[in-house]
Amino acid sequence: MDYDVVIVGAGISGALIAKRLGAAGKKVLILEAGIDGQGSYADDLERFYLAQAKVPESPYTPPIVTADASGYQAPSNPSKQAAGRPSTLTLGEANWQDPSQAYLDQQGPLAFASTYERVGGGTMRHWLGTSLRFVPNDFRVKTVYGVEEDWPIGYDELEPWYGEAEAEIGVAADVANQDYLGISFPPDYQYPMPAIPSSLVDQAVTAAMPKVAPIEGIQLEVTNTPAGRNSIPYQDRRVCAGNTNCIPICPIQAKYDPTVTLAAALQFPSVSILYQTVASEIVVDASQQVTAINYLQYTDQNGPATGSGSVSAKLYVIAGHAIETPKLLLMSTNGGLTPNGVANSSGHVGQHLMDHPIYLSWALTESPLFGYRGPLSTAGIESMRDGAFRSKHAAFRIEIGNEGWNFPIGDPYTTTLDFIVGANASGLNKGSKGAFGSSLTGSLNHALTRQFRLGFLMEQSPEDGSRVGLSETWTDSLNLPRPQIHYNLSHYTKMGFVVAKRTADQIYAAMGATQYTKQCTAADMKTDPTVFEVTYDAQGNPAQPGAPGSTTEYFRFYGAGHVVGTYRMGTDKCDSVVDREQRSWDHSNLFLVGSGVFPTVATGNPTLTIAALAIWASETLLADLG
Amino acid sequence: MTDPVAQDPLDQFVALSAILTGVAADKLHPTLDTYGTAREYLAYATANAGAQFAGLMRFYAANSSNPDVGSLVFNNTDPAIAYMAKTVMLMWYLGAWYPPDGLQKYHDNPQPPGPPFLVISADAYTQGWAWRVGQTHPMGYSDWRFGYWHSAPPPLSAFIGA
């Protein structure tokens, strides 16, 4: 036995568990598919500055783009990369199913629009910092509303672990305004840091709230967002300077990312890590115990395997995120001993892939509210995360953006081009005339200081049709299969978009703002795999397009990066992959952690819950090790 | 101290740039120019659009005393001059090089994804004026302090000096 515990993946879950085990003197090895993320920080920042498309993945490696002889960047070929991953640059009609550009083998009918990283520190390298707790009813939606699935754990059980996660991450918030919708804290609890100040955009939305009529009987309210971002110096890192760049990279690391915890874990002499090491098979013996993990290694990020090995331990933890973890489980057939993959007697490995598909809307206010300042988001509207309506349609939270129209239309680039070249892609240069001098500065200033956006993060219901499998023909440079994705949204989820749009319309009207959200059409749906159609009757039930009394609407959705649900926890080994301890039902020395264990995507950004569950799992691992 | 022969094209470039961008010359090219942006852009334009860029600068030199020189350049009926001017403006605004012919094509047929461009350098990105015209800083490059976003920024004139 080489180690007490082998962990696959050095993201938030792997790093937190390694740190806890290391502190207890346990011998731990982490296998990380990507490169050392802490060592590359300066290069990552430079890559971001030089990127032509500054998408969430742009700073990290392997580079999602490759430059041609003239310097123009186009999507890299993932078949030639050792540890590739998806990119938001490959969601277009022309390339979303092109194996030489798109990493994921997407089968549709809709595109899975979220991405992740394979690098030390994991996908949280490009997280926003939002550190919300879930609301208690998120854990019991089936019991309370008769929809989706219950979790095998409740808020009260998770609560102490939320507190530990908030300390590890360093969350800035004020308890006084976080106790909504049943969220509770122990007496005298305080977040590790004072709240991040609200932005002028937040203040403008807040001022309009009393003028917004209740939605489904619920009065909307703006709440400061708990953030994994320093409001005072914490863990030897600096205070946020408002770089407005949490995604894709904080230039001063005032935003927490898991390389912080990983570095702390690696301070323990019993914890070590192998980078550029891709787990390729979980080895199981006839007694259904995991006996080893086989891996491949590479030297060049665009090259073949240059080495291989096998490592054994008492316990094994797979923390590879909700797409690569099921991929590894499904690849592990053990020469026919586990023909459907490891931990998959239920057949649920890879099933119920979820996200928070976003309804994005944007508007221009009458007076300046000065976006493009401060962290990307400092407040949201949490009021619609729970209510009786959940029996009929998806719940959502509303994220207030501090970055103008950067997310919706790539500003300030688009509007600047409009005013200089004489075009109107933004909708803000109606005469399509070019301008220079004070006319230009006046027009551009008027536009940029009045732009803002609202993002509605929709609770997508778990569906059997949305799943991760193995591509039969698409591989990477290690000759491992790439993930195959089937993805769709339910009527329940789509009706959330209908209500989100109505809500956005009312908020903008109350603010006296002019909306510029692009309305989608049937034609958009034919060409854009992120556009869907929904037809409903007067009660919101599904209807046939064109039926009397029915309404048909078209929506574009965006990925939230909240990849969830592919090896869910449950109370029954027939319809879940792990138990409430995140232990495989099939293999008692195998733990699967991360957002894949979520039975539902719930209504908050997933990170804090991922972290809380990982810390909880580390306690179970320590108990097992004795 | 400085070579007057070498300085002249830089001064001309900065003067024309100030007229086109609406940003004061001493903001584009301050006395203590930490980033050397004006020099960088002059060299970049010369290297990447030599003859066309020289044509723009010649036209400006010949008309620099005309009070309407900005309009004469920006609205010039010769697209070689008008679009070269827009390319120069976009260098300053976005720290990026948009070749003039790509801008002309985009103007004539403004379809996504927009005209092709290259980021001139990491420093160029951080010195983009579009952000300052919006009374802010480039995303990912703030030299402001914690909490500044809670209150209003200084007036536009404090950013662009004009």
pLDDT (tens digit per residue) in A401-416: 999 999 999 999 999 9
Which of A421, A432, A443 to substitute to test the interface with B, most B CBs within 10 Å?
A421
- Per-residue pLDDT at B1: 41
Structural domain includes residue A294: yes
A residues 440-499 closer than 8 Å to B (CB): 440-442, 444-445, 448-449
Angstrom CA distances, A521 to A109, A359, A405, A424, B90, stand at 17, 15, 21, 20, 33
Q: How far is A390 from chain B (nearest CA, A)?
A: 35
Q: How many domains does chain B have?
A: 1
Cβ–Cβ below 8 Å for B149 and A48: no
Q: What gap in Å lies between CA A119 and CA A29, rounded to an integer? A: 16
- Per-residue pLDDT at A64: 97
Q: What is the 3-state secondary structure (H, E, C) of chain B?
A: CCCHHHHHHHHHHHHHHHHHHCCCHHHHCCCCCCCCHHHHHHHHHHHHCHHHHHHHHHHHHHHCCCCCHHHHHHCCCCHHHHHHHHHHHHHHHHCEECCHHHHHHHHHCCCCCCCCCEECCHHHHHCCHHHHHCCCCCCCCCCCCCCHHHCCCCCHHHHHCC
- Could you write out the DSSP letters of every residue in A368-392? ----S-SSS--EEE-GGGSSGGGGT
Q: pLDDT tens digits, residue range A266-304?
A: 999 999 999 999 999 999 999 999 999 999 999 999 999
Q: pLDDT tens digits, residue range A299-322?
A: 999 999 999 999 999 999 999 999
Q: What gap in Å lies between CA A352 and CA A598, rounded to an integer? A: 10
What value does the mean pLDDT take over residues A564-584? 98
Structural domain includes residue A39: yes
Give the structural domain span for A12.
3-68+86-129+254-348+565-625
Instruction: Please state at what angle helix A200-208 crosses helix A491-511, rounded to 10 degrees.
Output: 90
Taking alpha carbons only, the member of A137, A218, A371 closest to residue B139 is A371
Residue A442: count of CB within 10 angstroms of its CB? 15
Tell me if A212 sits within 8 A of A506, measured CB to CB: yes
Q: What gap in Å lies between CA B128 and CA B86, rounded to an integer? A: 15
Residues 6+ apart with CB under 8 A from B131: A372, A412, B137, B138, B139
Structural domain includes residue A607: yes
Q: What gap in Å lies between CA A37 and CA A34, rounded to an integer? A: 8
Residue A623 has pLDDT above 60, yes or no: yes
Q: How many domains does chain A have?
A: 1
Tell me if A554 sits within 8 A of A524, measured CB to CB: yes
Per-residue exposure over A374-408, b if at least 16 CB sit within 10 Å of its own CB, e if not? bbbbbbbbbbbbbbebbebbbbbbbbbbbbbbbbb
Structural domain includes residue B90: yes
Q: How far is B3 from chain A (nearest CA, A)?
A: 30
Q: Band of the pLDDT at B3, cuts 50, 70, 90?
A: very low
Output the six-digit token pair for A179: 């106790």
Q: What gap in Å lies between CA A473 and CA B105, rounded to an integer? A: 39
Structural domain includes residue B53: yes
Q: pLDDT tens digits, residue range A438-475?
A: 999 999 999 999 999 999 999 999 998 999 999 999 99
Name chain B contacts of A417, Cβ cutoff 8 Å. 90, 98, 106, 114-115
Taking alpha carbons only, the member of A482, A480, A437, A489 closest to residue A461 is A489
Cβ–Cβ below 8 Å for B94 and A413: yes
Cβ–Cβ below 8 Å for B119 and A434: no
Taking the CA atoms of residue A493, residue A498, residue A502 and residue A504 in that order, the dihedral angle to the nearest 10 degrees is: 60
Output the six-digit token pair for B14: 């900065």
The torsion angles phi and psi of B8, rounded to 5 degrees, stand at -55, -50
Residues 6+ apart with CB under 8 A from A91: A111, A113, A529, A530
The torsion angles phi and psi of A372, rounded to 5 degrees, stand at 60, 25
Tell me if A227 sits within 8 A of A378, measured CB to CB: yes
Name chain A contacts of B68, Cβ cutoff 8 Å. none
User: What end-to-end distance do the CA atoms of chain B give, in Å?
Assistant: 29
CATH code for the domain in which residue A275 is found: 3.50.50.60
What value does the mean pLDDT take over residues B79-105? 98
Q: If residue A557 lies in a helix (H) or strand (E), which one and from where to where?
A: none
Task: Identify the closest residue of chain A to B105 by CA–CA distance.
Answer: A421
- Could you write out the DSSP letters of every residue in A12-30? HHHHHHHHHHHHTT--EEE
Structural domain includes residue B2: no
Taking alpha carbons only, the member of A239, A250, A272, A299 closest to residue A83 is A299
Structural domain includes residue B1: no
Map residue A326 onto helix, strand or coil: helix
Nearest by CB to residue A445, choosing from B116, B135, B140, is B135
Residues 6+ apart with CB under 8 A from A206: A198, A222, A379
Cβ–Cβ below 8 Å for A413 and B130: yes
Give the structural domain span for B89.
9-160
Angle at A336 between CA A332 and CA A340, to 5 degrees: 55
Structural domain includes residue B4: no
Q: pLDDT tens digits, residue range A100-139?
A: 999 999 999 999 999 999 999 999 999 999 999 999 999 9
Q: What gap in Å lies between CA B19 and CA B11, rounded to an integer? A: 12
Can you point out the beta strands (E) in A488-619? 514-515, 531-536, 551-556, 590-592
Tell me if A29 sits within 8 A of A17, measured CB to CB: no
Tell me if A46 sits within 8 A of B126, measured CB to CB: no
Structural domain includes residue A26: yes
Cβ–Cβ below 8 Å for B136 and A244: yes
Residues 6+ apart with CB under 8 A from A67: A73
Structural domain includes residue B129: yes
Cβ–Cβ below 8 Å for B70 and A200: no
Sign of CA dihedral A48, B126, A449, A445: negative
- Per-residue pLDDT at A38: 80
What value does the mean pLDDT take over residues A568-591? 98
Q: What gap in Å lies between CA B144 and CA B137, rounded to an integer? A: 9
Taking alpha carbons only, the member of A420, A449, A404, A243 closest to residue B155 is A449
pTM of the model: 0.97
Structural domain includes residue A286: yes
Strand order in the sheet with A305-311: A277-284, A290-298, A305-311
What value does the mean pLDDT take over residues B77-95? 98
Cβ–Cβ below 8 Å for B150 and A49: no
Tell me if A95 sits within 8 A of A78, measured CB to CB: no
Residue found by looking up tokens 């090895």 in the block: A29
Output the six-digit token pair for A69: 């002889």
Structural domain includes residue A446: no
Cβ–Cβ below 8 Å for B21 and A402: no
Can you point out the beta strands (E) in A300-378? 305-311, 313-318, 358-364
Q: pLDDT tens digits, residue range A171-202?
A: 999 999 999 999 999 999 999 999 999 999 99
Q: How many CB pairs under 8 A join A and B?
A: 172
Cβ–Cβ below 8 Å for B139 and A373: no
Output the six-digit token pair for A606: 């997933």
Cis peptide before A412 (omega within 30 of 0): yes
Tell me if A172 sits within 8 A of A190, measured CB to CB: no
- Per-residue pLDDT at B5: 42
The torsion angles phi and psi of A227, rounded to 5 degrees, stand at -135, 140
Residue B7 has pLDDT above 80, yes or no: no
Tell me if A429 sits within 8 A of A415, measured CB to CB: yes
A residues 190-209 closer than 8 Å to B (CB): 197-200
Q: pLDDT tens digits, residue range B122-135?
A: 999 999 999 999 99
Name chain A contacts of B74, Cβ cutoff 8 Å. 434, 436
Q: Is A414 on the interface with B (CB under 8 A)?
A: yes
Map residue A229 onto helix, strand or coil: strand
Tell me if A567 sits within 8 A of A329, measured CB to CB: yes
Taking alpha carbons only, the member of A245, A86, A162, A90 closest to residue A563 is A86
Cβ–Cβ below 8 Å for A417 and B90: yes
Q: pLDDT tens digits, residue range A488-524?
A: 999 999 999 999 999 999 999 999 999 999 999 999 9
Q: How far is A284 from chain B (nearest CA, A)?
A: 47
Q: How far is A269 from chain B (nearest CA, A)?
A: 36
Q: Band of the pLDDT at B4, cuts 50, 70, 90?
A: very low
A residues 543-582 closer than 8 Å to B (CB): none
State which amino acid sits at residue A490: S
Structural domain includes residue A149: no
Taking the CA atoms of residue A230, residue A231, residue A234 and residue A236 in that order, the dihedral angle to the nearest 10 degrees is: 70
Map residue A565 onto helix, strand or coil: coil
- Per-residue pLDDT at A185: 98
Cβ–Cβ below 8 Å for B152 and A436: no
Mean pLDDT of chain A, nearest integer: 97
Q: Is B93 on the interface with A (CB under 8 A)?
A: yes
Nearest by CB to residue A440, choosing from B22, B107, B121, is B22
Sign of CA dihedral B105, B107, B113, B117: positive
Structural domain includes residue A203: no
Taking alpha carbons only, the member of A5, A463, A448 closest to residue B153 is A448
